[in-house]
Chain A
Amino acid sequence: ELKVEQNPLFLSMQEGKNYTIYCNYSTTSDRLYWYRQDPGKSLESLFVLLSNGAVKQEGRLMASLDTKARLSTLHITAAVHDLSATYFCAVQYNTDKLIFGTGTRLQVFP
């Protein structure tokens, strides 16, 4: 069965700094999704990556997908406090099934 690993699990970073969250998965898939979850809230879709080499950017976040390496990255540029949340990657397996990573809890401090 597909396994999805994220690292780091916890990330504390200063405002204005850059950092990258990594998502590795164990079985071939060409569909990967990034979600954000605020404490006590639902999951908000951030990015849908549908092919090798896909890159999407929204504000200070940029996501990319390398299906050959089975790796996706979520890059944070010049972090601000509003980005504090838990970020999940999810990989599609067998058409409709999403396997979620463990999540990366991001805290941005002044």
Chain B
Amino acid sequence: DTAVSQTPKYLVTQMGNDKSIKCEQNLGHDTMYWYKQDSKKFLKIMFSYNNKELIINETVPNRFSPKSPDKAHLNLHINSLELGDSAVYFCASSSRQLRGNEQFFGPGTRLTVL
């Protein structure tokens, strides 16, 4: 199936731990994104990579570090997790040449920090 996939789907961890979320897309897109959706369902962009180059880096604590090993993958590593990091993290991808740069979203990773 062509899609944006994320692992894991659920992540429960203790404060202070370090964790990673992985994202892969097989849509042939050149741009990938990380979004955070908080408990009030508000969606905010965190990072974006175009052809492995970081192009959007919002005001996010530097405990969050994205990495894009290639155009099809975008990972998010979070150090020293805090309670406020609990949220759903969505990966998305798009192509500037297709469908008006429409973004396609992954299934989300629900992170709970205890």
Residues of chain A from 92 to 108 with CB closer than 8 A to chain B in the complex = 92, 95-100, 102-103, 105
The contact size tier of chain B is 20 to 34
- The answer to whether A42 touches B90, judged by C-beta atoms less than 8 angstroms apart, is yes
Knowing A42-B106, A48-B102, the reply to whether A96 touches B42 (Cβ < 8 A) is no
Cβ contacts under 8 Å, A86 to chain B: 41
- The answer to whether B103 touches A98, judged by C-beta atoms less than 8 angstroms apart, is yes
Which residue of the partner chain, among B48, B101, B105, contacts A43 with CB atoms under 8 Å?
B105
Cβ contacts under 8 Å, B41 to chain A: 37, 86, 102-103, 105
The residue in chain A whose Cβ has the minimal distance to the Cβ of B3 is A42
- The answer to whether B55 touches A96, judged by C-beta atoms less than 8 angstroms apart, is yes
Which applies to chain B's interface (DSSP): helix, strand, loop or mixed?
Answer: strand
10 new A-B pairs (CB below 8 Å) besides A50-B100, A88-B43, A98-B103?
A: A33-B100, A42-B90, A43-B43, A43-B92, A45-B102, A96-B50, A96-B56, A96-B101, A103-B41, A103-B43
Task: Mark B residues whose CB is within 8 Å of A.
Answer: 31, 33, 41-45, 48, 50, 55-56, 90, 92, 94, 96, 99-108
The 8 tightest CB contacts between A and B, nearest first, are A100-B43, A43-B105, A50-B100, A48-B100, A42-B105, A42-B107, A48-B102, A103-B41
